[in-house]
Chain A
Amino acid sequence: MASLTQSFYEDWANLPDPILTQIFSYLSVVERCRVGATCKHWQQCLETPQLWRSFNCGFYLPAHGKLFRCVEQYGHFISRLTIFLNQKEAENRKNAIAVLEHLSSLENIHLSYLSIVFKGENPLFYGGHEFILALQNLLIKIGEKKEKSTLKHLNLSGLLANFNDDFIDRISANCPNLEYLNILNKILVCSVSPYCIMNLVLKCKKLQVLHLYHTSLSDDVLKALAEPGRKPLQRLGVVCRRHEKYGDDLTSEAWSGLLHANPGLKVELGFDHTCPLHRISEIMKPEIPVQELHLATFTRIYPEINTAVAYYEHTLEKLVVQTRPSRELQESLLNVAQRCKKLKALYVYCVLEKEVIDRILELCPLMRETRNYILKWTMDPEPWTVGKEEGD
């Protein structure tokens, strides 16, 4: 076949810069380093800020520590940083911290998004203190820009470390432009008090999404979030655990006030198996605009489902239930399917009768189509992975 090309030879080395940048944007960090070793022009093209704005690194093996070289070279471009690691090995922890320390040492830091995700198991008695320290230093650096402080999104849900008030205060002091904060890590004891969340709310007036434990909230915090002069709060994620035994409720008035000031607010409400059962109905107030409800209690939970239907039938879009099967449970789920017209996703982690499942899917045709559900009538051989509902 005759070549369709003109007679000059293809000069891949000298493709226009924007094209090379686009090609390189599809390559991983490692692959980019390889192209940089081919010729000068390609190496130069790697110096494009857009390429390095978003930076993912994973530390699972000692060899991954050398990713750090890339951070050294291009760290000043990084705007979005996600660090994954298997924190069980000291080497991985050291490497992850080195990345944070390097960023803290930069003259000009552009970090706007930070997420740290522990993928393994904490060593015995490990409290993540070294990460808290490294993060505190990084936050101080970020805070040097004062009102121009760049950090907008901080997701620490994957960081299994003990957050305390000092640490949260450090966030409040250095991130006035924070829009997203998630401190719902799975650490056993959360020692973040409502006072320091109050401080956070007062200092971060642009906060639009907040995920935290119920024990870190108070009526005063809700009132502060309802004050004028703030960016509207869009999403509030609240998880209730064992410490609800001792907690004060958030009152209906406080929730009403919050919703009134933030009419677009959606709430994700979660209860785990350590939350005392009787507290669930007490904490669920009709005024809360619950869009997502997680009942991971493993106990008889159908009265609470019925309460949720009564309160949240106009707002509920997603329901996750971990419980024991029973006739009453099935009735309550049918109740959900019938009355919650906005329901888009339903995940039930116990075996149900097929007829009930068919009826539920009949009542929710959109959900049946999008397949955003786990409804099983047999014990599948494969484990059901709670929390992986959306395939993340």
Chain B
Amino acid sequence: MPNIKLHSSDGEIFVVDVEIVKQSVTIRTMLEDLGMDEDEDEPVPLSNVNSAILKKVIQWCTFHKDDPPPPEDDENKEKRTDDISSWDAEFLKVDQGTLFELILAANYLDIKGLLDVTCKTVANMIKGKSPEEIRKTFNIKNDFTPAEEEQVRKENEWCEEK
């Protein structure tokens, strides 16, 4: 099967079956647009993804290579977060920094399935937490002025009632 070379931002080269990486719309487009032959030796440059994350992405794509294409988002369907497969859940048992990078990589490489599952994972980390707890979890700086914060707190007081 034809292989393709992927070049990470920190200079590592990964040789991967082209069918596996076609889950990335970005790479697929690059191949088509650049008229790259599938067994050309020229590696595809991925300037936004380092080798450690690229390795994880390739691992995810390899496991999911036979998945049917993800369905179009139906605005009318209730969005769930309790349907993450056990393999994906295990795959995403990583430190928060890695999760962050995986989201960015999935976004840059346009891999819908990976983006969906990472976003759901983050949503699950947010659920049940107060604003302060959310800030703590994600290291978010509170950039409201005291006046703004008071207003926001007042407006959302009702959220705190269980």
Contacts and interface: CB of A to CB of B under 8 A. Distances in A.
Contacts of B30: none
Nearest to B148: A40
B156 A36 contact: yes
B92 interface: no
Interface string B124-162: 001101110011001111111000100011011111010
A16 B126 contact: no
B18 interface: no
A121 B123 CA distance: 35
Contact of B159 (A6, A16, A34): A34
A31 interface: yes
Contacts of B148: 40
B56 A4 contact: yes
B151 to A, nearest CB: 10
Contact of B123 (A27, A33, A113): A27
B153 to A, nearest CB: 7
Contacts of A42: 140
A38 B97 contact: no
Contact of A26 (B101, B123, B138, B155): B123
In which size bucket is the chain B interface?
35 or more
B141 A4 contact: no
A5 B119 contact: no
A106 interface: no
A26 B135 contact: no
A13 interface: yes
Interface stretch (A17-25, A133-141, A192-200, A207-215): A17-25
Contacts of A26: 79-81, 119-120, 123
Interface in B70-100: 75-76, 78-81, 94-98, 100
Contacts of B139: 9-10, 12
B155 to A, nearest CB: 6
Contacts of A69: 155, 158
Most buried by B among A9, A16, A23, A56: A23
Contacts of A43: 152
Given A4-B52, A39-B143, A34 B134 contact: yes
A19 B158 contact: no
B79 A66 contact: no
Given A4-B53, A23-B122, A39-B141, A33 B97 contact: no
11 contacts: A10-B96, A10-B100, A13-B141, A31-B126, A39-B142, A39-B144, A40-B144, A43-B152, A53-B75, A56-B78, A69-B155
